[in-house]
């Protein structure tokens, strides 16, 4: 049934189109012209609408070219930076190999070998004190931590006074105290290099570490040991020189005796 119905509808559509064509052909010439013009206007409007909805090909082309140029520029910058960095590394490696530069080495700080004037117990006590007031746990005592330390020790300082305390032993100029710089305070206190009214002297004096007795004796013994070591070294070198002179003198005397014996022998045995 459906196939018969479809064929029937198809025949009806064909018949309608044929009647429309016959009507168009039987219509007067001016009506056919008007229909053609109307159809042309509709087609033109549809074409214009479609063209307006399409993107401008020139704009797209310019955008594509700009994007490509930007990509190339970024790539050139990256390549340039990478090349300059690589060149710098290779240049430094060449300088090191030729002996014109020294390789960077991590500086290892050993308080027991660098601060020999203090005992291990003293250095341990200083380390405990340093860690107690290093509230940030970053390995440094900054201005605020030093302020809290001096207040707890009973010797509060002004803001300028705290900055001067750090400045006096701040060897790397970072505005805070490392453990090594903290030890320098007690070294200078033990050596008598701090002013009595200075904040650093108050810190060393009020801390639990006694550098005024054992520390001073330790420092004195340390420097005396240095002097004694130099004296022993000088005496040892003097003894070596004396032995060398003695050997030279004995060798000269032996040569002289041999020459005298030969001379005497030639007298009796011509």
Secondary structure (3-state) at 141: strand
Q: How do residues 225-249 score in pLDDT, each as one tens digit?
A: 555 555 545 655 677 777 888 888 8
Residue whose pair of structure tokens reads 């040991």 in the numeric block:
225
Residue 182 has pLDDT above 60, yes or no: yes
Residue whose pair of structure tokens reads 């530069």 in the numeric block:
101
**Angstrom distance (rounded) from CA 261 to CA 11:** 158
DSSP per-residue string spanning 40-56: HHHHHHHHHHHHHHSPP
- In terms of pLDDT, which residue wins out, 71 or 24? 71
Neighbours of 154 (CB within 10 A): 8
Lowest mean pLDDT among 90-99, 113-122, 176-185: 90-99
Residue 127 has pLDDT above 60, yes or no: yes
Nearest Cα to 178, choosing from 236, 242, 134? 134
Residue 73 has pLDDT above 90, yes or no: no
Token digits of residue 235: 């005496």
Q: pTM of the predicted model, to two decimals?
A: 0.43
- In terms of pLDDT, which residue wins out, 75 or 111? 111
Residue 214 has pLDDT above 50, yes or no: no
Q: Where are the alpha helices (DSSP H) in the chain?
A: 2-26, 29-53, 57-98, 111-114, 120-133, 143-152, 159-169, 179-190, 199-206, 216-268
**Res 151: pLDDT:** 94
Q: What is the mean pLDDT of the chain?
A: 75
Nearest Cα to 202, choosing from 172, 157, 166? 157
What does the pLDDT average to over 127-156?
A: 94
**Angstrom distance (rounded) from CA 185 to CA 206:** 13
Residue 56 has pLDDT above 70, yes or no: no
Q: Which of 61-75, 87-101, 240-254: highest mean pLDDT?
A: 240-254
**Res 95: pLDDT:** 72
105 HSE (CA, 13 A, CB side): 7
The answer to whether the beta carbons of residues 218 and 119 sit under 8 Å apart is yes
Q: Which of the listed CATH numbers 3.40.50.300, 1.10.238.10, 3.40.50.1700, 1.10.357.10 matches domain 115-270?
A: 1.10.238.10
């Amino acid at each position: 049934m459906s196939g018969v119905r479809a064929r029937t509808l198809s025949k009806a559509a064909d018949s309608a189109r044929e009647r429309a064509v016959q009507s168009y052909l039987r219509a007067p010439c001016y009506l056919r012209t008007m229909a053609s013009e109307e159809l042309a206007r509709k087609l033109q409007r549809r074409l214009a609408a479609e063209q307006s909805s399409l993107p401008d090909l020139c704009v797209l082309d310019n955008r594509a070219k700009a994007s490509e140029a930007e990509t190339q520029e970024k790539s050139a910058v990256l390549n340039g930076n990478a090349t300059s960095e690589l060149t710098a590394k290779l240049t430094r490696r060449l300088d090191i190999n030729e002996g014109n530069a020294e390789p960077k080495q991590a500086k290892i700080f050993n308080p027991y070998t660098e601060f020999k004037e203090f005992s291990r117990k003293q250095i341990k006590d200083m380390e405990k004190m340093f860690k107690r007031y290093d509230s940030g746990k970053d390995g440094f005592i900054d201005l605020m931590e030093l302020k809290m330390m001096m207040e707890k020790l009973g010797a509060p300082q002004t803001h300028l006074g705290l900055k001067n305390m750090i400045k006096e032993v701040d060897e790397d100029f970072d505005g805070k105290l490392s453990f090594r710089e903290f030890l320098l305070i007690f070294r200078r206190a033990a050596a008598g290099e701090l002013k009595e009214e200075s904040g650093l002297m108050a810190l060393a004096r009020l801390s639990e570490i006694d550098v005024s007795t054992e520390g001073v004796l330790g420092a004195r013994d340390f420097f005396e040991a240095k002097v004694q070591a130099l004296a022993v070294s000088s005496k040892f070198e003097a003894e070596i020189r004396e032995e060398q002179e003695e050997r030279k003198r004995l060798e000269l005397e032996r040569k002289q005796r041999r020459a005298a014996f030969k001379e005497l022998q030639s007298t009796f045995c011509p």
